[in-house]
Structure 1
Amino acid sequence: MPSSSSSKDAKNLSRVLDKIAGMDEPRRSVMQHAHDIIMAAAPDLKPRIWYGMPAYAASASTPALVTLRNDERLNLALTEKVTTAPAGGADGTLTPAAWYFDSIDADAEKRIAEIVRSAVS
């Protein structure tokens, strides 16, 4: 018999996949691709819905670390629960925490994976 946490994880994953499936094309395909990248980059993250968005956390009972947002523009974001550092250079003390995208090419795929891995390390 599956544990209650694995059952909750499966239910949360199903909710995330349903949320993505309910999006209109071409965004649905792009968001599904982003979800797949996130899960491959950090397979221990637990998908769930966080404030109405697909999100990814260390466990079903901890705050989300990464979110996917489908508003006027698609957005990958790190929450305030991720340890971040200022960008330096031209951005000085500003800390990068959100990235907009309309499509995902090989470079974007690599960068999304890097961002997600940095959020969980």
Structure 2
Amino acid sequence: MIVATKDDRNLQQVLDKIAGMDEPARAVMQRMHDVIVAAAPELKPRIWYGMPGYATSASSPVLVFFRNDERMSLGVSEKARLEPAGGRDGLLIPAAWYVEELDEVTEQRVAEIVRGAIEARSSSRA
């Protein structure tokens, strides 16, 4: 008998959530999931506020997440240690991005955002 770990069950819940979405969102959100886990294989997927979220462990705070509500979006949670953008954006803190589809450039940017969230979290705990 194979016993599924909590991480396995959480992953399956995320995959089931994505599979239950209507097209074209399902394909975009599946690709978003694939990009996130490829960029940061150490992150553990789980459902967070009804949508896929990714954290360093099953019990740690979610760092990045995506949603499929009125629009599809990628977000970084406050647990990733957000900082003002500076420059012309002044004190605005970039924490969410809307997306309609993914292309190579967007996938690369998503991967950068995910890795940046992990680095910010790690450096804030050092």
Report TM bin, short chain.
over 0.9
Normalization by structure 1: what TM-score?
0.94
For the aligned residues, what is the CA RMSD?
1.5
Matched, 1:104 2:102: yes
Counterpart residue identity of residue 5, structure 2? S
Shift of residue 84, structure 1, vs aligned partner:
2.0
> Secondary structure at 2:53's aligned position in 1?
strand
Partner of 1:85 in structure 2?
Answer: 83
Note the residue ranges of structure 2 that are not aligned, 5 or more in a row. 120-126
Shift of residue 63, structure 1, vs aligned partner:
1.3
| 1:1-121 to 2 correspondences below 5 Å | 7-121=5-119
Normalization by structure 2: what TM-score?
0.90
Counterpart residue identity of residue 10, structure 1? D
Counterpart residue identity of residue 25, structure 2? R
- 104-113 or 85-94, which moves further after superposition? 85-94
Counterpart residue identity of residue 63, structure 2? L
Shift of residue 85, structure 1, vs aligned partner:
1.9
Note the residue ranges of structure 1 that are not aligned, 5 or more in a row. none
> Secondary structure at 2:15's aligned position in 1?
helix
After superposition, what is the alpha-carbon deviation per residue over 1:67-115, rounded to whole angstroms, capped at 9, x for unaligned?
1100111010001100122111221011100000000011100000000
Report runs of 4+ in structure 1 exceeding 4 Å deviation.
Answer: none
The total of aligned residue pairs comes to 119
Distance 1:59 1:76 in 2: 20
Percent identity between matched residues is 62
After superposition, what is the alpha-carbon deviation per residue over 1:53-76, rounded to whole angstroms, capped at 9, x for unaligned?
100001001111111100111010
After superposition, what is the alpha-carbon deviation per residue over 1:27-73, rounded to whole angstroms, capped at 9, x for unaligned?
00000000000000000000000110100001001111111100111
